[in-house]
Amino acid sequence: MTADVTGVLRQTDLLCSVPAKDLQAVAAVSRLRAFRRGQVVFTRTDPGDTLVVVLSGRVKVVVRFCSSSRAKRPRTSARAAPALTSSVAATLRRLTEAASDLVFLDLPRRVAKVLLSQPRGEDGIIRPKISQEELAHQAGGTRQSVNAALRGFERRGWIEVHDRAVTVKQAAALGRFAGN
């Protein structure tokens, strides 16, 4: 099993450059877990000493006032510290940008940025599908206001919404609107 975990860890951006011996040490203290839909993976009060790699499925991050469940954490090698530091720095940059967006961009522009950040196929369809509620969480608004922004983008011909699937038709125009 360690070889399988090592291979999975090697495929992540975070650990791809960690020496094999150190990666094997990380894999040796790692464990595979399966979670049911809706099951809490970790809470904000858990110590930040764990790396969670999602092999399949999706994880939704929800900020709540309080939560009671905790997940056990594997430990990592000290030689992985530079990669972890880079990851923390990237996360800090992303969060700083998100905070800046909340202050300086109106909701439709934040929705446009979220749409452009989602993985899309060559046909422009966002996959996996993202609900208006998920868009609202990511953009910092309500589902109703996100719906209004999406309708506005549709009227301009930038996107198409059909059967809960969003197709980005004009990414460049959407990007200009978002200020990219």
Q: Which tens digit of pLDDT belongs to each residue from 67-126?
A: 464 545 555 566 777 777 777 777 878 888 888 888 888 999 999 999 999 999 989 999
Task: Read off φ and ψ for residue 117, nearest 5 degrees.
Answer: -85, -10
> Residue 165 is inside which H or E element, if any?
strand 165-168
Whether the Cβ atoms of residue 132 and residue 151 lie closer than 8 Å to each other: no
Question: What torsion, rounded to 10 degrees, do the Cα atoms 89, 90, 91, 97 define?
Answer: 110
**Bridge partners for 168 per DSSP:** 159
Does residue 15 carry a pLDDT above 50? yes
What is the pLDDT averaged over residues 17-41?
Answer: 85
Q: Would you list the domain boundaries of the chain? A: 1-104, 105-178
- The Cα 28–Cα 92 span in angstroms is 29
Topology of the domain covering 105-178: Arc Repressor Mutant, subunit A (1.10.10)
The residue with greater pLDDT, 15 or 155, is 155
What is the pLDDT averaged over residues 12-17?
Answer: 82
Please identify which residue in the block is written with the tokens 């197709």. 167
Question: What torsion, rounded to 10 degrees, do the Cα atoms 124, 143, 52, 4 define?
Answer: -40
pLDDT digits (tens, 9 = 90+) for 124-135: 999 888 888 999
